[in-house]
Amino acid sequence: MTSRAKPVTRPRRDRLESGERRSLLMTVGFVGVIVVALLILLAAAGAAWYGENLAPMVSVNGSSVSKDFFRKAVAVEKWRYDQEESRIRDRVSAGHLSATDADTQIQAIGTQRTNVADGTNSKIIEGLLQEQLASQRGVAVGQDGVDAAWTAEATVPEERNTSLITVVPGISSGATESTQAEIDLAKQKADELKAKLDGGAAWEDVVKAASTGTTVDGSIGWLTPDSTAVDPNTLKAVFALQPNSVTSVVETTDGSFDIARVTDITPAKVDDQFAQTVSGAGLDQGVYRALLGYEATRTALSTSVLADVLDKPSEQRLTSEIVLNKSGGTGDEVKASHILISPNGDPQKASAVAATDPAWTKAKELADSIFADLNAGKTTFADAAKKYSNDTGSAADGGTLPWLSRDAVVTEFGDALFADGLKQDQILAPIKTAYGWHIIRYGERRPPADQLIQTVEQEAAKPGADFAALAKKYSEASNAASGGEIGWVARLQLPTVQEDAIFATQPGSVSPVLTTQSGFTIYKVSQATTRLPDASQASLIRGSGFESWFRPERDKATVDQLATPAQVLGTPAATQ
């Protein structure tokens, strides 16, 4: 019998292929999930990195800088402070600066370094805005300007060893400024001293004849081109001299007259390795140059703005003022003077001295003695205040205090000052407060400044009103004795709020009351003309004119502080 073999059973191919596909798909899916996860992580890391570095930190009118830029800018500014301090120490080592002056300058640098983050933030904001304003005025620093600023940064400035003779015009007793005759006399004296020098007289002898200077030769030490130790006009003349020569008579911005001598010159020196030093310190040269560009732009913009007033005739107003200061309290105000005698001569620590301490008794005895001398006419109140008062602020002015309201002073002082029946110039017996024993001279009483100014405004606005007489009667400004005269006022000479009030007032009329944080002002504009600023005006304009122009522009700008300096510097990247 023949049998047939069973066929061998094999898996079907389509079943095998189906399993392999499932396995492959699972593997691909798993890999895909991993890839997606990695992409998500990378995206998150990228977003986080962008947020910590490239995201804008601050925007000015749509122009912004990144957080990374800010961090690098702070690092640059810190390094610049270190470099400045190092140069100061080098000047001390060279004998060009005293240790005392160096310590003062280094302390100032330390304060700036403490505020470097906020200071850098402000510099960036103003830098961005000033670049925009400069562009609007057609002012461009350009690459050459930045290169020049970079070279200046790498340069140790020139120094000049200088001596000085100064002749200051006299001021008559009771006056607040010199007369033209007194100015002319000072100029004549300065010319005579210069003539002696030209005639071969020794510098030291002329210094002695001038009775000026704190040293035998009038030495004021080594000056740099940005020194503030002398008047700007004098500084300019000093740096135009050759060694061992003398300037002509220089009229300073404050009306004095200087003659300067230069004996030695240390030339400026450029550090050829500056770029390498900057890179070696880990600083970003691009950011460094951007900061220098901000500074150069500010200088160029300032020059352009001030030139509109300094270099060509512009409108000016002949102006007088009446100023009433706020007392810091409410209700009627009293004008008075006082002499303060404190236990142990220290008002700030008087409250800590026990009432039974003999220092209080000693202070009372001195106060009683001064009071007796005043009543006997043995001394004047002003002289006694200057000699004895422990309130050093008012003592220098003969004990004179500002207008005071009752709630602006301590109770005991207020009770004495606002007592009924007091007469002008009446001297009150010593009264005790936590600060010591006060001898008070009563002056006069008036309504509070915010009410009184309305009365003054009404009187000043009357036809034919004598504005000068009203200023002498009411004004608390230093020019009250001269009828409130300010003189000619040009644009950029005064703070913007004052300037706007003056130039909004028609010649021959009086302004509305200008209210500020410190008090109230009324202006009288007598005339208007077109003229160049005189030396005194030019000095004021150069000193604060650009800031007066720029502040309103800063206030109008749209500044978006997207992250604070503390937030940016507190990120991990800031610590790297």
DSSP assignment of 363-427: HHHHHHHHHHHHHHTSS-HHHHHHHH-S-HHHHTTTTB---EEGGGS-HHHHHHHT-TT--TTPE
Domains of the chain by range and CATH? 159-267 (3.10.50.40), 313-326+449-531 (3.10.50.40), 333-446 (3.10.50.40)
pLDDT, position 392: 92
Rounded Cα distance, 185 and 298, in Å? 41
| Confidence check: pLDDT of 31 > 80 | no
HEC states along 500-523? HHHHCCCCCEECCCEECCCEEEEE
pLDDT band, residue 45 (cuts 50/70/90): low
pLDDT, position 6: 55
pTM of the model: 0.75
The torsion of the CA quartet 355, 358, 359, 361, rounded to 10 degrees, works out to 80
Q: Distance of alpha carbon 145 from its chain centroid, rounded?
A: 26
| Confidence check: pLDDT of 16 > 60 | no
pLDDT digits (tens, 9 = 90+) for 438-485: 999 999 999 999 999 999 999 999 999 999 999 999 999 989 989 999
pLDDT digits (tens, 9 = 90+) for 256-281: 999 999 999 999 999 999 999 999 99
pLDDT, position 573: 41
| Per-residue CA distances from 40 to 25, 27, 28, 32 (Å) | 22, 20, 18, 12
Tokens of 39: 């992409």
Rounded Cα distance, 200 and 198, in Å? 5
Alpha helix positions (H), 154-253: 180-198, 203-210, 232-238
pLDDT digits (tens, 9 = 90+) for 475-531: 999 899 899 999 999 999 999 999 999 999 999 999 999 999 999 999 999 999 999
pLDDT, position 389: 97
What phi-psi label fits residue 436: left (phi over 0), alpha (psi between -120 and 50 degrees) or beta? left
Q: Distance of alpha carbon 306 from its chain centroid, rounded?
A: 19
pLDDT, position 34: 77
pLDDT band, residue 376 (cuts 50/70/90): very high
pLDDT band, residue 191 (cuts 50/70/90): very high
pLDDT, position 205: 92
pLDDT band, residue 574 (cuts 50/70/90): very low
Which letter does DSSP use for residue 145 in this model?
H
pLDDT digits (tens, 9 = 90+) for 283-299: 999 999 999 999 999 99
Is pLDDT larger for residue 28 or for residue 423? 423
pLDDT digits (tens, 9 = 90+) for 346-366: 999 999 999 999 999 999 999
Which letter does DSSP use for residue 288 in this model?
H
| Confidence check: pLDDT of 174 > 80 | no
pLDDT, position 13: 56
pLDDT band, residue 221 (cuts 50/70/90): very high
Give the mean pLDDT of 397-425: 94
Cα angle vertex 297, ends 292, 300, to 5°?
Answer: 130
